[in-house]
Amino acid sequence: MIKDILVPWINTDSERDVARAALSLAAASGAHVAMLVTVDVPAPMPSDWGAMAYDIYAKLHAEAHKRANQRAEALRQRFANAEVPVEVRVTEALSVFPQNTATMHARYADLTVLPAMPRNGAESMLVHDHFHDILRQSGRPVLVVPADTPARLPPKRVVVAWKPTAQAARAIADAMPFLRAADAVDVVVIDPKIGESAHGGEPGASIATHLARHGVKVEITARPSMNFSAAYALLDFAREVGADMLVAGGYGHSRLREAVLGGTTRELLHTAHLPVLFAH
Protein backbone atom coordinates (compact mmCIF):
# COMPACT_ATOMS: atom_id res chain seq x y z
CA MET A 1 0.00 0.00 0.00
CA ILE A 2 1.09 3.54 -0.77
CA LYS A 3 0.89 5.57 2.47
CA ASP A 4 3.60 8.25 2.13
CA ILE A 5 4.06 10.32 -1.05
CA LEU A 6 6.83 12.91 -1.48
CA VAL A 7 6.56 15.83 -3.91
CA PRO A 8 9.73 17.95 -4.10
CA TRP A 9 8.99 21.49 -5.31
CA ILE A 10 11.06 22.10 -8.46
CA ASN A 11 9.26 24.73 -10.49
CA THR A 12 5.89 26.45 -10.68
CA ASP A 13 5.13 25.19 -14.19
CA SER A 14 5.19 21.52 -13.15
CA GLU A 15 3.61 21.99 -9.74
CA ARG A 16 -0.02 21.66 -10.88
CA ASP A 17 0.27 18.33 -12.71
CA VAL A 18 2.56 16.71 -10.14
CA ALA A 19 0.44 17.80 -7.17
CA ARG A 20 -2.76 16.65 -8.86
CA ALA A 21 -1.27 13.20 -9.50
CA ALA A 22 -0.01 12.90 -5.92
CA LEU A 23 -3.37 13.93 -4.46
CA SER A 24 -5.26 11.50 -6.70
CA LEU A 25 -3.08 8.62 -5.57
CA ALA A 26 -3.31 9.69 -1.94
CA ALA A 27 -7.12 9.90 -2.08
CA ALA A 28 -7.34 6.36 -3.44
CA SER A 29 -5.03 4.80 -0.87
CA GLY A 30 -5.51 7.03 2.18
CA ALA A 31 -1.94 8.30 1.88
CA HIS A 32 -0.17 11.33 3.32
CA VAL A 33 1.42 13.84 0.91
CA ALA A 34 4.56 15.75 1.87
CA MET A 35 5.55 18.69 -0.33
CA LEU A 36 9.22 19.61 0.07
CA VAL A 37 10.48 23.17 -0.45
CA THR A 38 14.25 23.51 -0.22
CA VAL A 39 16.22 26.58 0.86
CA ASP A 40 19.02 26.35 -1.66
CA VAL A 41 22.05 28.41 -0.67
CA PRO A 42 25.18 26.21 -0.83
CA ALA A 43 27.90 26.94 1.69
CA PRO A 44 30.34 29.59 0.37
CA MET A 45 33.54 28.18 -1.09
CA PRO A 46 36.86 30.06 -1.04
CA SER A 47 38.19 31.20 -4.40
CA ASP A 48 41.29 32.92 -5.79
CA TRP A 49 39.76 36.19 -4.63
CA GLY A 50 39.25 34.94 -1.08
CA ALA A 51 36.18 33.79 0.84
CA MET A 52 32.74 35.32 0.33
CA ALA A 53 32.08 38.10 2.82
CA TYR A 54 29.85 36.94 5.66
CA ASP A 55 27.37 39.80 5.29
CA ILE A 56 26.90 39.02 1.56
CA TYR A 57 26.33 35.34 2.27
CA ALA A 58 23.96 36.16 5.14
CA LYS A 59 21.93 38.36 2.80
CA LEU A 60 21.74 35.65 0.14
CA HIS A 61 20.69 33.12 2.77
CA ALA A 62 17.98 35.41 4.13
CA GLU A 63 16.62 36.04 0.63
CA ALA A 64 16.56 32.31 -0.13
CA HIS A 65 14.74 31.65 3.14
CA LYS A 66 12.18 34.30 2.29
CA ARG A 67 11.52 32.81 -1.16
CA ALA A 68 11.20 29.31 0.26
CA ASN A 69 8.81 30.40 3.01
CA GLN A 70 6.68 32.30 0.50
CA ARG A 71 6.46 29.22 -1.73
CA ALA A 72 5.63 27.04 1.26
CA GLU A 73 2.91 29.41 2.48
CA ALA A 74 1.37 29.54 -1.00
CA LEU A 75 1.29 25.74 -1.08
CA ARG A 76 -0.25 25.54 2.40
CA GLN A 77 -3.02 27.92 1.37
CA ARG A 78 -3.61 26.10 -1.89
CA PHE A 79 -3.99 22.69 -0.25
CA ALA A 80 -5.58 23.80 3.02
CA ASN A 81 -8.88 22.18 2.04
CA ALA A 82 -7.48 19.10 0.32
CA GLU A 83 -9.32 15.84 0.89
CA VAL A 84 -6.09 14.17 2.01
CA PRO A 85 -3.51 15.27 4.58
CA VAL A 86 -0.90 17.54 2.93
CA GLU A 87 2.23 18.58 4.80
CA VAL A 88 4.51 21.33 3.46
CA ARG A 89 8.11 21.04 4.63
CA VAL A 90 10.81 23.70 4.39
CA THR A 91 14.31 22.33 4.65
CA GLU A 92 17.87 23.62 4.22
CA ALA A 93 20.40 22.54 1.61
CA LEU A 94 23.53 24.18 2.98
CA SER A 95 26.27 21.65 2.33
CA VAL A 96 24.51 19.54 -0.31
CA PHE A 97 22.52 20.14 -3.49
CA PRO A 98 18.68 20.31 -3.38
CA GLN A 99 18.36 16.90 -5.05
CA ASN A 100 20.50 15.34 -2.30
CA THR A 101 18.17 16.77 0.32
CA ALA A 102 15.16 15.47 -1.61
CA THR A 103 16.79 12.03 -1.84
CA MET A 104 17.12 11.85 1.93
CA HIS A 105 13.44 12.68 2.37
CA ALA A 106 12.47 10.17 -0.35
CA ARG A 107 13.87 7.32 1.75
CA TYR A 108 11.03 7.88 4.22
CA ALA A 109 8.31 7.78 1.55
CA ASP A 110 6.75 4.98 -0.49
CA LEU A 111 6.83 7.03 -3.68
CA THR A 112 8.27 10.29 -5.01
CA VAL A 113 6.36 12.16 -7.72
CA LEU A 114 8.34 14.32 -10.15
CA PRO A 115 7.61 16.22 -13.36
CA ALA A 116 8.76 14.95 -16.73
CA MET A 117 11.64 16.74 -18.40
CA PRO A 118 10.71 20.32 -19.38
CA ARG A 119 12.13 21.99 -22.47
CA ASN A 120 13.69 24.88 -20.55
CA GLY A 121 17.44 24.26 -20.26
CA ALA A 122 18.06 25.27 -16.64
CA GLU A 123 14.88 23.69 -15.29
CA SER A 124 15.47 20.60 -17.43
CA MET A 125 18.80 20.00 -15.71
CA LEU A 126 17.23 20.53 -12.27
CA VAL A 127 14.50 17.98 -13.00
CA HIS A 128 17.04 15.51 -14.38
CA ASP A 129 19.30 15.87 -11.33
CA HIS A 130 16.38 15.26 -8.94
CA PHE A 131 15.21 12.27 -10.94
CA HIS A 132 18.68 10.73 -11.26
CA ASP A 133 19.66 11.09 -7.61
CA ILE A 134 16.32 10.08 -6.10
CA LEU A 135 15.95 7.05 -8.37
CA ARG A 136 19.50 5.80 -7.94
CA GLN A 137 20.09 6.62 -4.29
CA SER A 138 16.81 6.63 -2.36
CA GLY A 139 15.91 2.96 -2.76
CA ARG A 140 12.36 4.05 -3.59
CA PRO A 141 10.38 4.29 -6.85
CA VAL A 142 9.79 7.54 -8.73
CA LEU A 143 6.60 8.40 -10.62
CA VAL A 144 7.22 10.86 -13.48
CA VAL A 145 4.20 12.86 -14.61
CA PRO A 146 4.17 14.62 -18.02
CA ALA A 147 3.00 18.21 -18.13
CA ASP A 148 -0.44 19.13 -19.51
CA THR A 149 -1.49 15.49 -19.78
CA PRO A 150 -4.62 14.38 -17.92
CA ALA A 151 -3.45 11.46 -15.79
CA ARG A 152 -5.98 8.83 -14.69
CA LEU A 153 -4.60 7.75 -11.34
CA PRO A 154 -4.77 5.20 -9.86
CA PRO A 155 -4.33 3.56 -13.27
CA LYS A 156 -6.93 1.22 -14.74
CA ARG A 157 -4.61 -0.17 -17.41
CA VAL A 158 -0.87 -0.57 -16.87
CA VAL A 159 1.89 -1.50 -19.30
CA VAL A 160 4.95 -3.18 -17.77
CA ALA A 161 8.21 -3.00 -19.70
CA TRP A 162 9.84 -6.34 -18.98
CA LYS A 163 13.37 -7.58 -19.42
CA PRO A 164 15.13 -9.96 -17.05
CA THR A 165 17.10 -7.33 -15.12
CA ALA A 166 17.28 -6.33 -11.47
CA GLN A 167 15.86 -2.90 -12.29
CA ALA A 168 12.78 -4.33 -14.06
CA ALA A 169 12.17 -6.80 -11.24
CA ARG A 170 12.43 -4.00 -8.69
CA ALA A 171 9.98 -1.89 -10.71
CA ILE A 172 7.39 -4.68 -10.71
CA ALA A 173 7.74 -5.17 -6.96
CA ASP A 174 7.37 -1.43 -6.30
CA ALA A 175 4.42 -1.15 -8.68
CA MET A 176 2.54 -4.11 -7.17
CA PRO A 177 -0.13 -1.97 -5.41
CA PHE A 178 -1.02 -0.44 -8.78
CA LEU A 179 -0.82 -3.74 -10.66
CA ARG A 180 -3.13 -5.57 -8.26
CA ALA A 181 -5.74 -2.81 -8.43
CA ALA A 182 -5.64 -2.35 -12.22
CA ASP A 183 -8.32 -3.76 -14.50
CA ALA A 184 -5.68 -4.96 -16.98
CA VAL A 185 -1.89 -5.28 -17.06
CA ASP A 186 0.13 -5.83 -20.22
CA VAL A 187 3.64 -7.24 -19.85
CA VAL A 188 5.51 -6.10 -22.95
CA VAL A 189 8.81 -7.61 -24.09
CA ILE A 190 10.61 -5.67 -26.82
CA ASP A 191 12.84 -7.69 -29.17
CA PRO A 192 12.89 -10.76 -26.88
CA LYS A 193 15.94 -13.00 -26.93
CA ILE A 194 15.28 -16.64 -26.20
CA GLY A 195 17.82 -18.39 -24.04
CA GLU A 196 18.76 -19.40 -20.52
CA SER A 197 20.59 -16.13 -19.82
CA ALA A 198 18.02 -13.99 -21.68
CA HIS A 199 14.20 -14.08 -21.64
CA GLY A 200 13.92 -17.86 -21.28
CA GLY A 201 12.09 -20.25 -23.57
CA GLU A 202 8.84 -18.26 -23.51
CA PRO A 203 9.65 -14.54 -23.10
CA GLY A 204 7.51 -12.93 -20.40
CA ALA A 205 5.83 -16.17 -19.31
CA SER A 206 7.61 -16.52 -15.97
CA ILE A 207 7.01 -12.95 -14.83
CA ALA A 208 3.38 -13.19 -15.99
CA THR A 209 2.95 -16.33 -13.89
CA HIS A 210 4.44 -14.54 -10.90
CA LEU A 211 2.05 -11.59 -11.36
CA ALA A 212 -0.95 -13.88 -11.80
CA ARG A 213 -0.15 -15.51 -8.45
CA HIS A 214 -0.49 -12.05 -6.93
CA GLY A 215 -3.95 -11.70 -8.42
CA VAL A 216 -2.87 -9.45 -11.31
CA LYS A 217 -4.95 -9.65 -14.52
CA VAL A 218 -2.05 -9.98 -16.92
CA GLU A 219 -1.43 -10.49 -20.64
CA ILE A 220 1.92 -10.94 -22.43
CA THR A 221 2.95 -9.18 -25.62
CA ALA A 222 6.23 -9.73 -27.47
CA ARG A 223 6.85 -6.83 -29.83
CA PRO A 224 9.64 -6.05 -32.32
CA SER A 225 11.12 -2.56 -32.19
CA MET A 226 11.11 -2.38 -36.02
CA ASN A 227 14.37 -0.38 -36.01
CA PHE A 228 12.90 2.13 -33.57
CA SER A 229 14.07 2.51 -29.98
CA ALA A 230 12.67 0.35 -27.18
CA ALA A 231 11.17 3.47 -25.59
CA TYR A 232 9.35 4.35 -28.81
CA ALA A 233 7.98 0.80 -29.13
CA LEU A 234 6.78 0.82 -25.53
CA LEU A 235 5.06 4.19 -25.82
CA ASP A 236 3.50 3.21 -29.14
CA PHE A 237 2.01 0.10 -27.53
CA ALA A 238 0.82 2.13 -24.53
CA ARG A 239 -1.03 4.48 -26.90
CA GLU A 240 -2.62 1.57 -28.76
CA VAL A 241 -4.11 0.01 -25.64
CA GLY A 242 -4.95 3.29 -23.90
CA ALA A 243 -2.67 2.67 -20.91
CA ASP A 244 -2.76 4.98 -17.89
CA MET A 245 0.71 4.12 -16.57
CA LEU A 246 3.96 2.58 -17.75
CA VAL A 247 6.19 0.65 -15.33
CA ALA A 248 9.89 0.36 -16.16
CA GLY A 249 13.26 -0.29 -14.61
CA GLY A 250 15.46 2.81 -14.64
CA TYR A 251 19.14 3.24 -15.45
CA GLY A 252 20.22 -0.24 -16.34
CA HIS A 253 23.40 1.30 -17.76
CA SER A 254 25.97 3.61 -16.21
CA ARG A 255 25.33 7.36 -16.02
CA LEU A 256 28.16 7.99 -18.50
CA ARG A 257 26.67 5.64 -21.08
CA GLU A 258 23.22 7.17 -20.60
CA ALA A 259 24.65 10.67 -21.06
CA VAL A 260 26.77 9.86 -24.11
CA LEU A 261 24.67 7.28 -25.94
CA GLY A 262 21.24 7.92 -24.46
CA GLY A 263 19.03 5.10 -23.25
CA THR A 264 15.48 3.95 -22.64
CA THR A 265 15.28 5.73 -19.28
CA ARG A 266 16.42 9.03 -20.70
CA GLU A 267 14.07 8.80 -23.70
CA LEU A 268 11.06 7.93 -21.56
CA LEU A 269 11.83 10.83 -19.24
CA HIS A 270 11.81 13.20 -22.22
CA THR A 271 9.02 11.81 -24.41
CA ALA A 272 6.49 9.80 -22.37
CA HIS A 273 2.89 10.92 -22.84
CA LEU A 274 1.66 9.08 -19.71
CA PRO A 275 2.91 8.70 -16.13
CA VAL A 276 5.90 6.35 -15.83
CA LEU A 277 6.81 4.56 -12.63
CA PHE A 278 10.57 3.97 -12.54
CA ALA A 279 12.55 1.87 -10.07
CA HIS A 280 16.23 1.09 -9.74
Answer yes or no: is pLDDT of 171 > 60: yes
**Cβ proximity of 237 and 191 under 8 Å:** no
H or E segment at 118? Answer: none
Predicted confidence (pLDDT) at residue 255 exceeds the cutoff of 80:
no
Q: Nearest to residue 96, comparing CAs of 129, 63, 122?
A: 129
pLDDT of residue 136: 95
Phi, psi of 113 (to 5 degrees): -110, 125
Residue 79 has φ and ψ, to the nearest 5°, of: -105, 20
- What pLDDT shows up at residue 207? 96
Rounded mean pLDDT, 131-152:
92
Structural domains in the chain, sorted by start: 4-145 (3.40.50.620), 157-279 (3.40.50.620)
pTM of the model: 0.90
Region 4-11: mean pLDDT is: 93
Average predicted confidence (pLDDT) for the chain: 88
Question: pLDDT tens across 46-76, in order?
Answer: 555 555 566 776 787 788 889 999 999 999 9
Q: Is the pLDDT of residue 258 over 80?
A: no
Most trustworthy range by pLDDT among 5-19, 114-128, 179-193: 179-193
Taking a C-beta distance cutoff of 8 angstroms, is the pair 22, 135 a contact? Answer: no
Kindly state the percentage of the chain with pLDDT values over 90. Answer: 69
In this predicted structure, the answer to whether residue 92 has a pLDDT above a threshold of 60 is: yes
Mean local confidence (pLDDT), 135-162: 94
**200 secondary structure, DSSP code:** B
Q: For residue range 207-221, what is the model confidence (pLDDT) as tens digits?
A: 999 999 999 999 999
**Contacts of 86 by beta carbon, 8 Å cutoff, 6+ apart:** 23, 33, 34, 35, 75, 79
Which pLDDT value is given to residue 154?
A: 96
pLDDT at 42: 59
Question: In this model, does residue 260 exceed pLDDT 50?
Answer: no
What pLDDT does residue 200 have?
A: 62
Residue 267 CA neighbour count, 13 Å, CB half: 14
